[in-house]
Amino acid sequence: MRFELGFGKGVQPVEIDESCLLDVLLPNPVTKALTGEAEVRRALAEPIGAPLLREIVKPGEKIAIITSDITRPVPTWKIMPALLDELYAAGCKAEDLLLVFALGSHRAQSVEEQRHLAGERAWAEIRCVDSDGRDCVHLGVTKNGTPVDIFRPVAEADKVICIGNIEYHYFAGYSGGAKAVMPGVSTREAIQANHSRMVKPEACAGRLEGNPVREDIEEAASMLGIDFIVNVVLDEHKEIIRAFAGDVTKAHRAGCAFLDTLYSKPIDRRADIVIVSQGGAPKDLNLYQTQKALDNAKHAVRDGGIIILVGSCREGLGEKTFEQWLTSAPSPHSLVERIEREFKLGGHKAAAIAMVQERADIYLVSEMDPDFVRSLFMAPFASVEKAYAAAKEKLGEYAAVILMPYGGSTLPKDTATSI
C-alpha cells in the first residue's frame, strides 16, 4: 500500500505491505455541518458559558486580541473577520483593537508572516504586533511560584480575547484556552517556571484535571482575566471543522471533549516501527516543533522499536537553548539527568527527545545535514522509503508498523497498558 506523508510544503511517499500494517491513525469521522469562517460565526452566536461577545465589550474600551504565531496552524485570517464584525457590532472602534501574536519563547516574526496570519482585512483595519517578553507587567505569583508577567499591552487592556486551536499537548494536556496567555504573552522566566512541572507524570497529553502544568497556566491566566475565547479544532487539511467561543474554561473544555472524539486513537498493541509525520508546514519548520509528533508516537512504539520521524526541519533545530543542550550532550541519558537537576526552557524539549531515545531508536527524515543529525543520536535519512528499508533490515521484513500521518494531532491510547 502506498502512503504519502506531509513534509514541508510537499509529501514523502512510502510503500508498506498490508500484512505488516497494524494501523493507520487517521482522525475519526465526525459530522461537519459548517466549516471555516461560517463555523466561527456560528460559535460566536452560540457562546458557551458566557454572554455574546457584543454584550461583554463596550465602546471606548481597549481590547487586546491574542492569537498564535507562525509556528502554530491557527488560521487567524479565517477567524478575524467574524470577530471584527462582532466587536464592531458592539460599537468598538478599530483604533481601540490590537491583535497580538503570542510568541512565547519563539523568534520574532517578519512583517510578511504577521500580515499572512492576520489576514488582509485585520492587517488593514487594526494594529498588529508581536508580543515582547521584555515589556511586561508583573501581576503576582501563582501558588506554585510561577511569576505572572504579562506583555504590557495585554495587561493594560480593558478586555482580553484569546484565539487558539485545540490539539493535544505533550505536557499541558491540550493546547488552547488560557495557554494563549501562559506561555503565549509571558516572559521567558515565567514560561520556564511553569514548564518545569513537565517532569511530573501527571503532566501528559490528554490530561487536564490534576495536570500541574495546565492548572498553573489557568491560575496565571485568571490573575490577568480572560474575557472571551475563540478556539477552533482543525481537520487533517487544516480546515476549521468546529469552533468554540465563550468562557475561557467552559468553552475550552467543550473543545477538548470534541477533540477526543476526533483524534484519540485506541490501539490494540504497540508496533515495532512507527512512521510519524508532523503533517507538513508550518508544523515541521524545525525540530523544536516536530518533536510534538515524536512525543505522541512514543505511545505507539514498543520498547526497542524504531520511530521514523518525518519533518522538514528546514530552519534547523529552532531554539537556542534546545540546540545547546542537544549538541553538547555526551549521551541521551545525560539530558534526562540534566533536566531533573536543572530545568531550563528549551532544554525541556531536548530532554523529552532523550526520554524517547532511551526506549526506541529515532530515524529522522529531514532536510538537516546527516552528520549533524547523527550528532543528535538519531539516524539521518533523506526519504521515508530509505528509512523504512533500514528499519526493516534491523527489525525484520515483517516488522509490524503503525503509521501516523498527523502525529502532532493524533494521540495513541494503548488499550493493553496505560500511557
Residue type, 159: K
Cell digits for 69?
504565531
For residue 365, name the pLDDT band (cuts at 50, 70, 90). Answer: very high
Give the CATH class of 36-234: alpha beta
For residue 419, name the pLDDT band (cuts at 50, 70, 90). Answer: very low
Per-residue pLDDT, 324: 97
- Sequence-separated (6 or more) residues with CB below 8 Å from residue 189: 147, 149
Domain boundary assignment for the chain: 2-27+264-414, 36-234
| Residue 418 pLDDT > 60 | no
- The whole-number average pLDDT for the span 5-17 is 96
Per-residue pLDDT, 304: 98
Instruction: Give the number of other Cβ atoms within 10 Å of residue 199's Cβ.
Output: 18
Per-residue pLDDT, 235: 87
Give percent of the chain with pLDDT exceeding 70.
99
What CA–CA distance (Å, rounded) separates 148 from 22?
46
Element (H, E) at 90: none
Cell digits for 172?
499541558
Q: What is the pTM of this model?
A: 0.81
What CA–CA distance (Å, rounded) separates 115 from 117?
5
- The whole-number average pLDDT for the span 84-110 is 95
What CA–CA distance (Å, rounded) separates 243 from 69?
19
Do the Cβ atoms of 410 and 265 come closer than 8 Å? yes
- The whole-number average pLDDT for the span 365-370 is 98
Residue with cell 549538541: 327
- The whole-number average pLDDT for the span 126-150 is 96
Give Cα separations from 378 to 137, 309, 385, 397 (angstroms): 42, 10, 17, 22
Q: Report the chain's mean pLDDT, rounded to a whole number.
A: 94
Cell digits for 223?
490573575
Do the Cβ atoms of 176 and 166 come closer than 8 Å? yes
Buried/exposed 269-297: b ≥16 CB within 10 Å, e otherwise: ebbbbbbbbbbbbbbbbbbbbbbbbbbbb
Q: What is the pLDDT of residues 337-353, one digit of tens each?
A: 998 788 887 898 999 99
Q: What is the pLDDT of residues 321-338, one digit of tens each?
A: 999 999 999 999 999 999
Residue with cell 516488522: 399
Cell digits for 14?
512510502
Element (H, E) at 2: strand 2-7
- Sequence-separated (6 or more) residues with CB below 8 Å from residue 132: 103, 151
| Residue 417 pLDDT > 60 | no
Concatenating the DSSP letter of every residue in 154-196 gives HHT-SEEEEEEE--EETTTEESSGGGGTTTTTB-HHHHHHHHG
Per-residue pLDDT, 165: 96
Q: What is the pLDDT of residues 217-263, one digit of tens each?
A: 999 999 999 999 999 999 878 899 999 999 999 999 999 999 999 88
Burial class (CB in 10 A: 0-12, 13-18, 19+), 95: exposed
Look at strands 10-15 and 2-7 and give their pairing: antiparallel
Give Cα separations from 150 to 7, 121, 173, 184, 359 (angstroms): 35, 27, 22, 9, 38
Residue 80 phi/psi, 5-degree rounding, is: -60, -40
What CA–CA distance (Å, rounded) separates 64 from 382?
44
Give domain 2-27+264-414's CATH number out of 3.30.930.10, 2.60.120.650, 3.40.50.300, 3.90.226.30: 3.90.226.30
Q: Is 200 in a helix, a strand, or coil?
A: coil
- What 370-379 contacts at long range (C-beta under 8 Å, 24+ apart), as own/partner pairs, is 375/327, 376/326, 376/327, 377/329, 377/331, 377/332, 378/309
What CA–CA distance (Å, rounded) separates 66 from 68?
7
Q: Is 304 in a helix, a strand, or coil?
A: strand
